[in-house]
Chains A and B, each alone.
Chain A
Amino acid sequence: MQILAWEITGLEAPGNLKLKRAGKDAQTTVAVMDFEGRGISMQEAQTLTDRFTTSLSSTQKVVLVERGTMNDVLEEQGFATGECASDECAAEVGAMLGVEFMISGAIGKLGNAYTIDAKMFSVATGAAESMKSITYSGAVEGLIVEIEILAWDILGLDIPRSLKKRRNQGIPDYSAASGPKRKTKGGALFRSLVVPGFGQLYSGRKMSGFGFMLLEAGLIGMAAKSNSDYTTFQSEYDTQLANYNAATVPAEIASYKALVDQARTDMNGANDQLVLFSSAAAGIWVVNALHAFLTGPTFADGGDQGLPVRLAYDPLTKQTRLEWRLNL
């Protein structure tokens, strides 16, 4: 209906409306110029442009010209990388490439804020079809999500829910994902809670780690032995009690009674040992967990960076917030 309104008045409908109407079968050809970097390095600008191009391609609404093809044309025209920044130059390159639309833009840095300006214009008319700008404050990594969103936005398409979710979740911890995982006190605590001594081994304290393991295994073994003894004595107790109840001769009654008493005494002893060893095992377990936490990896070891509280910028609310985290 919007396109019809343009056509009734004798005007050509904007490209983004056509793109919105177009399905997979009717795709528009687009070329993306490297975004100009102002205050950020050229490599960062090119990386962000690449991400923009990838995201643009994932919309499946446009056919993109390969960067290599475009670079060949630029070289033929005698432009070095980054020199063809004006709209006129871009339109000229677009015409040579035979695309309908060109997208160019700039990424700038002002203080702690980043700005991204992107423009899509018709190669045939030179008219701007869509212009979008984004201002973002936070770590430079956050620009990745923003520029992916910009790719959908500049085409006038609805932003996918997954991208919105990523924007809401903030900047992922790439350092943890890419390199070896950072050891934390919480990690040591968790491991020692699961297997005594494991947290100490995780922290590189082999002596105390194996010490706790052996001590815990010994105590649990002794508790198991006591439990086994208790079961044996209980069996003896049941047997002698049955004999006592079946006895009719006073001497036998007295004899079986003494055996029942002895079995009960043995059961008491085994039970006392069972309680002692199991309580000691539980106590050592708790002590080992505390020890693992207190002697866990520190900042100096390349581990946890002190308090688990940090300030973080939320791109959704555009506000800075206080975060508390616990690494497990």
Chain B
Amino acid sequence: MIKRLVIFTLLPLMALMSCGQDVPPEDVYDNPLDEDEVTYETPALTFYPIDISIDLGSSQAVDVFVLDIENLAGSHVKLSYDKSKLSVLSMSVGEFFADALQAPVFFAENDTETGTIEINTSFLGSDSVSVSGTGSLASIVFQLTTDGESSLTFDVASCEFVDPDDNSIEIKGFGEGVVNAQ
């Protein structure tokens, strides 16, 4: 009798009492390109996506993004990767410069011995061509060669932004990418 009473009454009552749902918290925003949410100041350099998951042997494109920049006419970006786990398949110019009125000069160099990549992008001439805002400077396709976690980091001392008058633009923040083997 007690068992029946529990089944027929207490369980429905408890179910009614515990009907509330778990509403997601407000701090769910972690897009590395969201200027309002990033922990570093802008202008900044970061990777997108910032958390990269790759299957062993497969490849994944990672963009080098610049955030909240004004009058960018040329850039030199140096970054390093774990050469024991990753290899570079290709590098190409990003949309930030490509969308400008003038085609940019783009050349990138991958040093497989040290695991560093240097990317140079600039507009030639003195007709004040520049870009502003947030956008991709370059797109790099990595391939995972060995299991394990590794990181993508910018060489802070070597990275440089300039305006059309060749004045240096201070880079205040740098994001760090994390590569995980799935």
Contacts and interface: CB of A to CB of B under 8 A. Distances in A.
B65 interface: yes
Given A193-B8, A328-B1, A250 B35 contact: yes
Nearest to A244: B31
B9 A193 contact: yes
A168 interface: no
A268 B31 contact: no
A260 interface: yes
Interface stretch (A43-51, A127-135, A276-284): A276-284
Interface residues of B, number: 28
B24 interface: yes
| A interface, size bucket | 35 or more
A240 to B, nearest CB: 11
Given A193-B9, A257-B29, A267-B23, A250 B16 contact: no
Given A193-B8, A193-B9, A248-B65, A278 B33 contact: no
Contact of B13 (A244, A245, A285): A285
B17 A250 contact: no
A328 B8 CA distance: 14
A260 B136 CA distance: 25
A223 interface: yes
Given A282-B13, A285-B13, A286-B13, A248 B23 contact: no
B149 interface: no
B16 A253 contact: no
B28 interface: yes
Contacts of B34: 244, 253, 257
B62 to A, nearest CB: 12
Contacts of B148: none
Given A194-B9, A248-B136, A328-B1, A274 B33 contact: no
Interface string B11-36: 01100110111011010111101111
A322 B25 CA distance: 60
B4 to A, nearest CB: 9
Interface string A252-286: 01100100110010011001001100110110011
Contacts of B136: 248
A244 B34 CA distance: 9
A190 interface: yes
A114 interface: no
Contacts of A271: 20-21, 23
A59 interface: no
Contact of B17 (A194, A261, A279): A279
A190 B2 CA distance: 11
Contacts of A193: 5, 8-9
Q: Is the interface of A mostly helix, strand, loop or mixed?
A: helix
A245 B19 contact: no
B16 A281 contact: yes
A227 interface: yes
Contacts of B26: 261, 264
Interface in B49-70: 63, 65
Contacts of B17: 278-279, 282
Contact of B24 (A247, A254, A264): A264
Given A193-B9, A194-B8, A247 B33 contact: yes
Interface of A: 190, 193-194, 220, 223, 227, 230, 234, 237, 241, 244-245, 247-250, 253-254, 257, 260-261, 264, 267-268, 271, 274-275, 278-279, 281-282, 285-286, 289, 328
Interface of B: 1, 5, 8-9, 12-13, 16-17, 19-21, 23-24, 26, 28-31, 33-36, 48, 63, 65, 133-134, 136
Given A220-B16, A279-B17, 18 more contacts: A190-B5, A193-B8, A227-B19, A227-B21, A230-B21, A245-B30, A248-B134, A254-B36, A257-B36, A268-B23, A271-B20, A274-B19, A278-B16, A278-B17, A278-B19, A279-B16, A285-B12, A286-B13
